[in-house]
Structure 1
């Protein structure tokens, strides 16, 4: 459910609505756009409880709108304006086009630096490369781990490119956050819900890849796990 505030609703009216809903145990997400403010409300029996609380009659409230589709935060109902994800001085989702390019896996310094220079010359703004690699075979190269992350940071320093790299497990998250500008959730981990929740708590930009055979709705609901933890910086 969403609470749509009036165009010129006072800050104290917005806060009063949020305080009342928060005290009732709802999880809230605030979206303040150019033309209006929307409060996303998540909880059990939301429609019945919000109606009983007479929220629609509170000062500054324009209307209360139930959300019928399964994703509550990733849709246009909650945030009508196009999303722009800020990665340093880059804005992803605006009018410009940003290309992410690089090797599947970081293998050595020479390989990565050569590729980084080439992709920058070709116009890319973000360097991708895997320090941790989920492989079908347990005997295949699994990535350099922290050494790979250090090489990515070195390439960023040398070229100015931002870094996107995959997080494959929750235990790797603190280390990857230290080095990466964008966290990548690979296709195989799209429905690793525990990982999605933990990534959602970081606030870092996230590149969420679509899983094999995943429907569009399943992909959006994977993003919902990240957004439900307060991180709306999701790139599809």
Structure 2
């Protein structure tokens, strides 16, 4: 339920209503604006009816939140959320590029990529320390050693880092190393993991599951925010369809629709979305054109020697071309790089 207060309502008026909401065991939300203060009440609809908010003189309007996801809905918050990853602002008119290797393999590999990205003015470095792979015989990542290398790269190159978490027990450990947790497609509905990162304060990049609906993605984000962490970035990374020409089917419809449905920033992962290196550039341009707030792409200085996903990793020349080609599309979409 959304409660819009009258322009003359004071903070004391808002607190009176918030206390009433809390007294009924509901979750209160306080969203002061420039012209109006908006309150929220989340919980059992039968209990919500007991509030009788129309009787409060400072209440101007009471509206139900009709969508099953409440906290992430534009019904609750009309303006775009801006998320800070280590001081880098994501969303709100910014187009942000996150890049780096699929897996952290060595100091030489990671630092070489970070140096190349820094020269391209890329603000955020990605790299996998824990790698959930389809085959148990594939490279599974360096674990905490990989996290330590990411932190070292951040210290040297001044680039906040993003890395995937696969086990709730690692949330506190990873908090000492990374600036943003990534939830991979296979874990989008790992609800214990969502709650674990929800209890942290660092941002979460939440990837859409390969067979997940848009509503399921938004409800997964709701889990994180409901647990206490409002810093969520959604990521479309392709879904599984009957098509086999590409690794996945990159659903750019989802980007445009998500921008209507939610105030959260929306990213696109064209690397996993296609699995075809030559398609990353055109689909990155398309992502910018359709309203995405950023992209996350895989890079490697020598993809032939990569321990994971080398076939879809961009070389330094590929990446330089991507950045040159995408800029006009970012500007045309009204965003800034």
Q: Which TM-score band applies after superposition, normalised by the shorter structure?
A: over 0.9
- The Cα shift of 1:141 comes to 1.5
Tell me, yes or no, if the aligned pair for 1:40 and 1:73 is still in contact at 8 Å: no
Tell me, yes or no, if the aligned pair for 1:206 and 1:234 is still in contact at 8 Å: yes
The answer as to 2:47 corresponding to 1:43 is: no
Structure 1, 105-114 or 131-140: larger mean CA deviation: 131-140
SS in 2 for 1:64: strand
- Name 2:86's counterpart in structure 1: 88
SS in 2 for 1:179: coil
The alpha-carbon distance between structure 1 residues 230 and 31, as it changes in their structure 2 partners (threshold 3 A), is farther
The alpha-carbon distance between structure 1 residues 219 and 35, as it changes in their structure 2 partners (threshold 3 A), is farther
Q: Could you list the per-position Cα deviations for residues 50-77 of structure 1 after superposition, in whole angstroms to 9, with x for gaps in the alignment?
A: 3333222224222211111111111111
* Paired positions, count: 234
Unaligned runs of 5+ in 1: none
- Name 2:15's counterpart in structure 1: 15
- Name 2:157's counterpart in structure 1: 159
- The Cα shift of 1:198 comes to 1.5
Partners of 2:126 and 2:99 lie apart in 1 by 5
The answer as to 2:105 corresponding to 1:107 is: yes
Tell me, yes or no, if the aligned pair for 1:30 and 1:39 is still in contact at 8 Å: yes
Partners of 1:184 and 1:26 lie apart in 2 by 30
Structure 1, 49-58 or 65-74: larger mean CA deviation: 49-58
SS in 2 for 1:99: strand
- The Cα shift of 1:91 comes to 1.2
- Name 1:26's counterpart in structure 2: 26
- Name 1:222's counterpart in structure 2: 220
Which of 57, 63, 66 in structure 1 is aligned with 2:64? 66
Partners of 1:105 and 1:18 lie apart in 2 by 46
What's the Cα RMSD here?
1.4
Counterparts of 1:113-132 in structure 2, within 5 Å, are 113-132=111-130
Tell me, yes or no, if the aligned pair for 2:2 and 2:65 is still in contact at 8 Å: yes
Tell me, yes or no, if the aligned pair for 1:188 and 1:211 is still in contact at 8 Å: yes
Provide the TM-score with structure 1 as the length reference.
0.94
Partners of 1:229 and 1:36 lie apart in 2 by 27
Tell me, yes or no, if the aligned pair for 1:13 and 1:59 is still in contact at 8 Å: no
- Name 1:137's counterpart in structure 2: 135
The alpha-carbon distance between structure 1 residues 229 and 5, as it changes in their structure 2 partners (threshold 3 A), is farther
- The Cα shift of 1:188 comes to 0.8
Tell me, yes or no, if the aligned pair for 2:103 and 2:127 is still in contact at 8 Å: yes
Tell me, yes or no, if the aligned pair for 2:127 and 2:162 is still in contact at 8 Å: yes
Runs of 4+ in 1 over 6 A off after TM superposition: none
Partners of 2:17 and 2:48 lie apart in 1 by 11
- Name 1:197's counterpart in structure 2: 195
